[in-house]
Structure 1
Amino acid sequence: MNAHTVLIDRYFDIWNETDAQRRKALIAATWASDATYVDPLLSGRAHDGIDAMIRAVHERFPRHTFRRTTDVDGFADRLRFSWELKTPDGVPIAKGSDFGQLDAEGRLLAVTGFLDAAPGAA
């Protein structure tokens, strides 16, 4: 498995982690301290902002899980991959594609998410 895939799989571990202390440790190991995340519904800046954003998703969608649905495609400091959010029963309710930028140490510096399908979307 290449370094980009390992990084993005850890990114999904963060989204799925419900223990606050473990999630914060994963964020610190995976994201640059000045990192940003933005999609049409959410945004977070720096470790605390990213943690708060993920915590809000857990509150809105308890026991739902994210998973990567494509290989991680990357070159230089850029990445792209797709994902889905599943209910506790395994039904996908949202899908999207994310684009990432890495810092010099190989941590996530910025992620921009696009929703391909979302609850309530026509």
Structure 2
Amino acid sequence: MSAYTQLIDQYFDTWNETDAARRRELIAATWTDYCVYVDPLLAGNGHDGIDAMIRAVHERFPGHSFRRASDVDGFANNVRFSWWLETPEGTPIVKGSDFGVVEACGRLRTVTGFLDQVPGGA
């Protein structure tokens, strides 16, 4: 497994972690101190912003989980991958693709997300 794949799998572990203390540990291990996440619906800056954003997703979609839906493709310090958000029963309801920049320390500096499929087809 490549270092990029391990990092992105840890990224999904972070998104799926419901225990606040454990999620903060995962954020620190996955993201640089000056990190940024942005997609059409969400944004978070720094560890506090990333944590607040993930917490809000858990509140809106209790019991749902994110899954990687593609291999992790990377070159230089860039990564891309696809994912879905699934219901507790395992049905994907949102699909997307993310693009990230990895710092030399091996942690994510930025992630830009695109929503490929959302409920209602928008």
Normalised by the size of structure 1, how large is the TM-score? 0.98
Unaligned runs of 5+ in 1: none
Normalised by the size of structure 2, how large is the TM-score? 0.98
CA distance in 1, matches of 2:54, 2:32: 16
Matched, 1:110 2:110: yes
Q: Name the residue aligned to 2:6.
A: 6
Structure 1 stretches of 4+ with a deviation exceeding 2 A read 119-122
Unaligned runs of 5+ in 2: none
Residue-by-residue CA offset, 1:12-71 (whole Å, 9 max, x unaligned): 000000000000000001100000000000000000000000000000000000000100
Q: Name the residue aligned to 2:49.
A: 49
Query: Please, what is the CA RMSD of the aligned residues?
Result: 0.7
CA distance in 1, matches of 2:51, 2:16: 12
Q: Name the residue aligned to 1:34.
A: 34
CA distance in 1, matches of 2:7, 2:17: 15
CA distance in 2, matches of 1:56, 1:120: 21
- Would you say how many aligned residue pairs link Structure 1 and Structure 2? 122
The percent of aligned pairs where both chains have the same amino acid is 70
CA distance in 1, matches of 2:109, 2:30: 9
Give the secondary-structure state (helix, strand or coil) at the position aligned to 2:9. helix
